[in-house]
Amino acid sequence: MWRARRRDSRVFLNNCVGCHSGMDPMAQAFAHVRLDATAGQLAYTANQVQPKYLINATNFPFAS
């Protein structure tokens, strides 16, 4: 359902915001952290947002 109407913000506001209100801040908290699998720990990447947090950057573009 979400992918079919991903540009309609009403779908998000009515169906998804309940869960996302808790998940989205956590994504921001870990945007500059990546898992270093060889060392088995998290690595901080200053001034570099991890690519997995940028995949939906165009879902709700600002109206011009």
Predicted pLDDT of residue 60: 67
**Is the model more confident about 32 or about 62?**
32
Contact 20, 12 (CB under 8 A): yes
28 within some domain = yes
From residue 2, alpha-carbon distances to 6, 16, 37, 46, 54 in Å are 5, 9, 32, 33, 18
46 within some domain = yes
60 within some domain = no
3 within some domain = no
Predicted pLDDT of residue 7: 64
Contact 53, 31 (CB under 8 A): yes
**Is the model more confident about 53 or about 43?**
43
16 within some domain = yes
Q: What is the mean pLDDT of residues 7-32?
A: 82
- Domain boundaries, position 29: 9-53
61 within some domain = no
33 within some domain = yes
d(CA 11, CA 59): 12
Domain count for the chain:
1
Model confidence at 64: pLDDT above 70: no
Maximal C-alpha separation, the chain? 46
Q: Is the pTM of this model over 0.85?
A: no
Average pLDDT of every residue of the chain: 79
